[in-house]
A and B are shown apart, each in its own frame.
Chain A
Amino acid sequence: MSDLVAEQFDDLAQQTEADTLGMWAFLATEVLFFGGMICGYCVYRLLYFTAWHRGSLVCDNFRWLGVGSGGWNTAVLLTSSLTVAIGVRAAQLGQNRTLSIMLSLTLILGIAFLAIKAAEYTHEYHEGVVPGYGVFHPDDEISADLRHDAAQMHMSEVVLRRQFQLFWVFYFFMTGVHALHMIVGIGLFTWLLIETRRGRFTPQKHAPVELMGLYWHFVDLVWIFLLPLLYLVR
């Protein structure tokens, strides 16, 4: 029982409040972390709207059953937020079996998200839009579209291609950093699942489930904004 409350705290309530506040403070730093990327993204979205419009069209062209990969990924993540919320509720009520199932579902959905992302990245690699000096060579169809856009805007094609490449830099960077956070989340939830199977969580002591849940919801939140910004703004 003595390991329930860490020695710097007076009681469990203080520890739980401090842990929750700490997680929210950490999430605040994450908002600013992604926010810096989003600021750069917004500036270039405004400056290079033609090239970036083309970028959004291309990244939304990886479709299955008529819905783009961005839409599928959002659906997967929203579902995972549901399973997390139900799981946290189960932890609050001491329903370990439900919690276990919810955590497993969340993990499956998280891995599904990464799988869709991997397929999407592979598709984009084959389209030649992975950025980098000497690496970036959009395929014929995209190049034709770019030429058309450049002619319409009375712009140099070389300049438009550079702006187009910049879209992909931000696309891969933002989704890549997000994916890293997902991987960390999957690691954390794996640990949560193991601890749940060991019966470590009770209605009194389940703070890690709530805290990791907050983290997972945050990662979902970021994606909720990345979806329109990257895929849907035209």
Chain B
Amino acid sequence: MMETSKEKIDPIGLYLLIYFILLLLLVATLSAARFDLGPWNVVVALAIGVIKALLVILFFMHVRHSSRLTWIFAGAAFLWLSLLLGLTLSEYFFRSSHYTTESTAPYTQNVDR
């Protein structure tokens, strides 16, 4: 049974374990959605999503065993996504009608009328 020198092969048991944890997290996220936790609903749902994603990335996609370069590539993608989301959303958040008159206020205030 030849492996290339760099390949570490995980036991099937590990994959099954991760799978069951993922299913548990799925049940958790579906259950949490039934309760009204106010703004925390979003946080819980996304946090569970992030944990599931990390499990898939680290274990199923073998990033756990991968070179630093792979970590950098994977990390850079999500870092750039957070730049896009972060800067765009903060631009929306920090709009203030303090510097504008009623007629030039952010249009969102007009749309709901």
Mark A residues whose CB is within 8 Å of B: 13, 16-17, 20-21, 24-25, 27-28, 31-32, 35-36, 38-39, 42-43, 46-47, 60, 67-68, 71, 74-75, 78-79, 81-82, 84-86, 89, 92-94, 153, 155-156, 159, 203-204, 210, 213-214, 217-218, 220-221, 224-225, 227-228, 231-234
Q: Which residue of A lies closest to B9 (CB)?
A: A92
| Chain B interface helix/strand/loop/mixed | helix
Q: Please name all residues of chain A whose beta carbon is closer than 8 Å to the beta carbon of B111 when the two chains form the complex.
A: 159
Q: Please name all residues of chain B whose beta carbon is closer than 8 Å to the beta carbon of A232 when the two chains form the complex.
A: 29-30, 32-33, 41, 45
Closest 10 CB pairs of A and B: A228-B45, A28-B77, A31-B77, A35-B81, A232-B33, A24-B73, A82-B19, A85-B60, A85-B15, A232-B45
Check if B78 is an interface residue, CB within 8 A of chain A: yes
Q: Which residue of A lies closest to B111 (CB)?
A: A159
State A79–B41 Cα separation when bound (angstroms).
26
CB<8 Å pairs between A and B, sample of 27:
A16-B4, A21-B69, A27-B77, A32-B81, A39-B85, A39-B88, A47-B108, A67-B30, A68-B30, A71-B26, A74-B26, A78-B19, A81-B60, A84-B60, A89-B10, A93-B3, A203-B4, A210-B62, A213-B61, A217-B60, A217-B61, A220-B56, A221-B56, A224-B49, A228-B49, A233-B42, A233-B45
| Chain A interface helix/strand/loop/mixed | helix
Most buried by A among B16, B30, B59, B70: B30
On whether the beta carbons of A227 and B29 are closer than 8 Å, the reply is yes
Partner of A203 from B2, B48, B92 at Cβ < 8 Å:
B2
Check if B23 is an interface residue, CB within 8 A of chain A: yes
